[in-house]
Structure 1
Amino acid sequence: MLSWVVRRTRLPLLSLRCVDCRSESATAGEGRFRVNANGKLLDVWLLVRCVSCDRTSKLTVRERVPVGSLDPAELDGYRGNEPELVASMLVDPLFARRNRFRLDWTGAWRLDTPSARLEQAWPVRVEVVFDDPVPVRPERLIARGLGLSRNEVLRRVKCDVSLRRTTRAGFTFTLMAGD
């Protein structure tokens, strides 16, 4: 069985309307948090920047939480602007829903495939693993990975998920021999 991996190459853009220029694209750039203390309560925001006008906006991460209720390592992550923490916040669907944005993954991921020859034993079984929840249609991903047309993929591939429905999780498919 072959294994393919879908990996993030950069943070995805956010589909979020700018209050100044009405553009729909924003970026988390390097990923910076802002932590604000009000007595014994903390507010934490993720700062994002409009791609068009460079205006900075805040996405609420934590709101009015007691200092003692936060894990010290998590608080250090916010203060240190840890890239893994920024990435995990952005791909969290609850965070996106609460802050009313969608992720635009265009150009932000790649497909790593082994350089194995497919002329070997048929049928060929392939497992696809996602490092991040990149939304992609399996038929397009398989066509890209094998260098086949999408019609050829629909004809030759048996898959454990619908080929025409967007998925964000791993799946397995079997490639049958061509005619």
Structure 2
Amino acid sequence: MLPWVVRRTRLPLLSLRCVDCDAESATTGEGRFRVNANGKLLDVWLLVRCVSCDRTRKLTVHDRVPVRSLAPAELDGYHGNAPELVASRLFNPLLARRNHFTLDWTDAWQLDIPSAWAEESWPVQAEVVFKDPVPVRPEPLIAQGLGFSRNEVLRRVKSDIPLRRTTSAGFTFLVMPRD
């Protein structure tokens, strides 16, 4: 079984309307948090900026939570702007729903495949593994990896999941020889 790996190359853009310029894209840039203490309560925001006008906006991560409810490592991550914490919060669907944004994964991921896949005996079986929750449709992903047209993928590929449905979970597929 050949391993195919889908990995993130950068953080995705956010589809989020800017109040100043009406643009639809924002970015986390370097990934910064703002932490504000009010007595024993904390507010934590993820700072994003508009791609067009550079206006900064805050996305609510925690709102008036008791300091003791956060793990010390998590709190240190917020103060230190830990990149893995930025990514995990950005990928959280509850944060996206609360702050009314979606992720735009265009040009934010790559597919790594073994170079010797064509030397395998037919049929060829491959396993796709996702290092990050990148939502992709299997049909164009397989077409890109094999250099096939999408129609040829539909004819020659048998998969354990529907090829025309978006997924961010691993799957396996079998490529049949030409008829």
Q: Post-superposition shift, 1:166?
A: 1.1
CA contact (8 A) 2:8 2:131 kept: yes
Q: Which runs of 5+ in 2 are unaligned?
A: none
1:90-109 aligned at under 5 Å gives the runs 90-109=90-109
RMSD: 0.8
Q: Is 2:135 aligned against 1:135?
A: yes
Kept after mapping to 1: 8 A contact 2:2/2:117 = no
**TM-score where L is the length of structure 1:** 0.98
**Distance across 1 between alignment mates of 2:90 and 2:146:** 30
Match of 1:161? 161
- 1:128-158 superposed Cα distances (whole Å, 9 cap, x missing partner): 0111111111010000001111111000000
Partner of 1:25: 25
Identical amino acids, percent of aligned pairs: 79
Question: Following TM superposition, by how much is the alpha carbon of 1:94 offset from its aligned partner in structure 2, in angstroms?
Answer: 1.4
**C-alpha distance in structure 1 between counterparts of 2:151 and 2:104, whole Å:** 26
Equivalent AA in structure 1 for residue 110 of structure 2: R
- Report if the CA contact (8 A) 1:91-1:132 is conserved: no
What does residue 71 of structure 2 align with? 71
- 8 Å contact 1:50–1:56 — kept in the other structure? yes
Moved segments of 4+, more than 3 Å = none
> Quick one: distance in 2 between partners of 1:4 and 1:117?
10
Alpha-carbon distance between aligned partners in 2 of 1:82 and 1:22, rounded to the nearest angstrom: 30
TM-score, with length taken from structure 2 = 0.98
Deviations 1:44-89 (A, max 9, x none): 0000000011000000001101111110000000000000000111
Match of 1:57 in 2: 57
Task: Count the aligned residue pairs.
Answer: 179
Which residue of structure 2 lines up, in the alignment, with residue 175 of structure 1? 175
Equivalent pair of 1:11/1:108 in contact (CA under 8 Å):
yes
Find out whether 1:45 has 2:33 as its counterpart: no
What SS is found at the alignment partner of 2:45? strand
Letter in 2 for 1:176: M
Q: What letter matches 1:93 in structure 2?
A: P
- Report the more deviating stretch, 149-158 or 118-127: 118-127
Q: Which runs of 5+ in 1 are unaligned?
A: none
Say whether 1:122 aligns with 2:157. Answer: no
